[in-house]
């Protein structure tokens, strides 16, 4: 049996012509599933359901968790009023992903948290977010690519003693980036593992060696072209496989 990886899915409410039935879809970018499968895992999409028992059952059945990208976490979740630039909130998704994260932490499952996922991980552990980098970080570089395809837009410096450095095999790399928010005050038991040149936190991980990695960039988009990004998915599936063998 391949390791089972719970992959969180977002929601979309597409505009429909007048008179047609409105519907809500769920899903994520296929690249998340492709990179997981390439690593030898079996991805299972988990939709936005606000049901703690369903979350507990799903997390109890898998070997690892991936928190995917998406819109902004509702700022009241970390005790702040919303910035004027905040957007694309989904309280039901927040509830689901915060519950998934906390349950996965309780079970000691490996977690790979990507972009919004890293922010969810930080908030789940009591941390806060910078709500709008362009207006709140003096001298900020561009963190939101608008290229025709995934662009390695800026560099990051990775802490040499970090899990991220061991997984990626480097202490400096260029990354693709699609975010206007980022980690601010760290959640309990978390440390910074990489930063952008302007000081913005681009990654977090556990201080005590638990298999928890959060990155603000999007490795799934570049994993096929740049193998250094596939290492993150290989790590998750490898850790999940070890967890499965322990069960």
Task: Residue 199: count other Cβ atoms within 10 Å of its Cβ.
Answer: 12
- Per the annotation, the verdict on 220 as an active-site residue is yes
Active-site residue flag, 218: yes
Selection from 108, 126, 86, 100 nearest residue 48 by Cα = 100
- Catalytic: 179? no
Name the catalytic one among 115, 154, 180, 239: 115
Identify the active-site residue in 205, 220, 221, 239: 220
Q: Residue 24 in contact with residue 11, Cβ under 8 Å? A: yes
Catalytic one among 218, 221, 222, 239? 218
Among the listed residues 82, 175, 190, 90, the one whose alpha carbon sits nearest the alpha carbon of residue 136: 82
Residues 6+ apart with CB under 8 A from 209: 163
Sign of CA dihedral 102, 229, 163, 108: positive
Q: Could you give the CA distance from residue 212 to residue 206 in angstroms, rounded to a whole number? A: 6
- Separation CA 238–CA 62 (nearest Å): 14
Residue 147 CA: distances (Å) to CA of 16, 64, 128, 152, 155: 28, 32, 29, 10, 16
Catalytic residues: 115, 218, 220
């Amino acid at each position: 049996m391949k390791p089972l990886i719970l992959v969180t899915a977002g929601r979309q409410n597409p505009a429909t012509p007048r008179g047609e039935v409105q519907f809500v879809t769920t899903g994520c970018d296929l690249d998340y599933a492709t990179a997981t499968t390439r690593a030898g895992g079996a991805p299972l999409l988990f939709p936005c359901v606000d049901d703690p028992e369903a979350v507990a059952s799903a997390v109890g059945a898998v070997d690892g968790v991936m928190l995917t990208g998406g819109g902004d976490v509702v700022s009241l979740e970390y005790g702040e009023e919303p910035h004027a630039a905040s957007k694309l909130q989904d309280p039901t998704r927040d509830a689901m992903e915060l519950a998934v994260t906390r349950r996965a932490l309780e079970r000691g499952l490996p977690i790979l948290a990507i972009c919004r996922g890293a922010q969810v991980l930080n908030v789940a552990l009591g941390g806060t977010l910078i709500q709008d980098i362009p207006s709140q970080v003096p001298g900020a570089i561009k963190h939101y690519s608008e290229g025709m395809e995934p662009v390695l837009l800026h560099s990051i410096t990775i802490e040499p003693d970090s899990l991220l450095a061991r997984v990626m095999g480097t202490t400096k790399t260029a990354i693709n980036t699609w975010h206007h928010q980022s980690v601010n005050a760290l959640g309990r038991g978390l440390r910074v593992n990489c930063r952008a040149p302007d000081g913005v936190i681009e990654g977090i991980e556990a201080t005590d060696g638990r298999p928890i990695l959060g990155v603000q960039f999007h490795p799934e988009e570049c994993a096929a072209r740049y193998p250094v990004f596939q290492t993150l998915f290989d790590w998750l599936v490898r850790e999940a496989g070890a967890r499965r063998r322990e069960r």
